[in-house]
Structure 1
Amino acid sequence: MRIGLLRHFKVDCPHKKMMTSQEFLEWSRRYDISQVIKTKVEMNGVEWDVCYVSDMPRAIITAKEVYKGSIIIDKLLREVDNAPFINTKRIKLPFALWHICGRIAWYLKLKSQPENKEETRKRIHEFLDRIDWSKENILIVFHGFMIYNFQKELRKLGFKGDKLKKVKNGVLYEYIKENEKEDMASESLSDLCG
């Protein structure tokens, strides 16, 4: 079985270097509705049997570009919101710091974040329960931080693939798990040989 994880195309949403918490929040809202910059995606010649996609426009546009069948839209695949970790009125912080500290707050389960790491993990498992596991090649188009967390759960389920630290836009990451039937056949063969 093969699962392909694909982050949506890059979003065309510039930002200032320094922002207040309100400006970061406004930028996040703009990002959710901004256009994407389409590029060619290398799909490695795989015939995908089914395509699941986040309900966010940037993911849907990407999925329709790379997959020609009908797509299955699922809200569980939405990106983990990254809210300001503190409320600043006039103090501006670097854009990158807002992102990093928001993710640290998520990890530490701070109330500033709409979702914490346990809730994200639960959402991933809810989605995994919905997958049609009878399909051999499953494509999932969604978001960077969700993919980062999702691939960890796939590896716990016995899938082999890259241990991602940074998830790039428009890049396909494949995770493969040998079929149990194939595993049993190879075990039987080794019993005969050995």
Structure 2
Amino acid sequence: MRIGLLRHFKVNCPHKKMMTSKEFREWSEKYEVSKVIKKKVDMYGIEWDICYVSDLPRAITTAKEVYSGNILIDKLLREVDNAPFIHTERIRLPFEIWHICGRLAWYFKSKSQPETINGTKKRINMFLDRIDWSKENILIVFHGFMIYNFQKELRKRGFKGAKLKIVKNGVLYEYIREDQKDMVENENNADLCG
């Protein structure tokens, strides 16, 4: 069984270098509805049986570019919201500080974040528990921080693939698991050869 994880195309949403918490939140809201910059994606010639996609526009646009069948839209695949970790009216901080500290606040279960690390894991596992496991090749198109967390849960379920630290836009990452049936066939073939 193969699962392909694909982060949406890069979003065309420039930001200021320095921002207040309000400006960071406004930028985040604008990012949610901004257009993507399409590019060619190497799908490695795999015939995907099914495609799940986040309900956010940037993921849906990407999925429609790389997959020709019906896509199944699922809200559980939404990106983890990255809210301002503190509220500032006049103090501006670099964009990168807002972004990184928001993720740290999520990790340390700060009340500043709408979702906790446990909430994210629960959402991922709810999705994994309800997808169609009868399909051999499953494509999932969604978001960078979700993919980072998602791949960890896949490994817990016996999948092998890259241990991602940085998830690139428009790049396919494959995770493979030998099913029980395949493992028995491989063992039988080994016995015949040995």
Q: Shorter-normalised TM-score: what interval?
A: over 0.9
Q: Which residue of 1 aligns with 2:55?
A: 55
Q: Which residue of 2 aligns with 1:170?
A: 170
Q: Which residue of 2 aligns with 1:149?
A: 149
Give the aligned residue type for 1:112. S
SS of the equivalent of 2:118 reads helix
TM-score (norm 1): 0.97
Cα distance per residue 1:49-98 (max 9 Å; x no partner): 00000000000000000000010000000000000000011000000010
Give the aligned residue type for 1:30. K
Q: Which runs of 4+ in 1 moved over 3 A?
A: 188-194
SS of the equivalent of 1:4 reads strand
Any gaps of 5 or more consecutive residues in structure 2? Answer: none
Q: Distance in 2 between matches of 1:134 and 1:34?
A: 35
TM-score (norm 2): 0.97
How far has the Cα of 1:130 moved from its partner? Answer: 1.4
Q: Which residue of 2 aligns with 1:112?
A: 112
How far has the Cα of 1:187 moved from its partner? Answer: 2.8
Q: Distance in 2 between matches of 1:47 and 1:69?
A: 11
**1:140 counterpart = 2:125:** no
Q: Distance in 2 between matches of 1:152 and 1:103?
A: 17
Q: Which residue of 2 aligns with 1:96?
A: 96
Q: Which residue of 2 aligns with 1:184?
A: 184
117-126 or 175-184, larger mean C-alpha shift: 175-184
Q: Distance in 2 between matches of 1:193 and 1:175?
A: 28
Q: Which residue of 1 aligns with 2:73?
A: 73
Q: Distance in 1 between matches of 2:116 and 2:97?
A: 18
Q: Which residue of 2 aligns with 1:6?
A: 6
User: Share of identical aligned residues, percent?
Assistant: 76
Give the aligned residue type for 1:80. V
How far has the Cα of 1:185 moved from its partner? Answer: 2.2
Q: Which residue of 2 aligns with 1:159?
A: 159
Residues matched between the structures, number: 194
How far has the Cα of 1:189 moved from its partner? Answer: 4.3
Q: Which residue of 2 aligns with 1:32?
A: 32
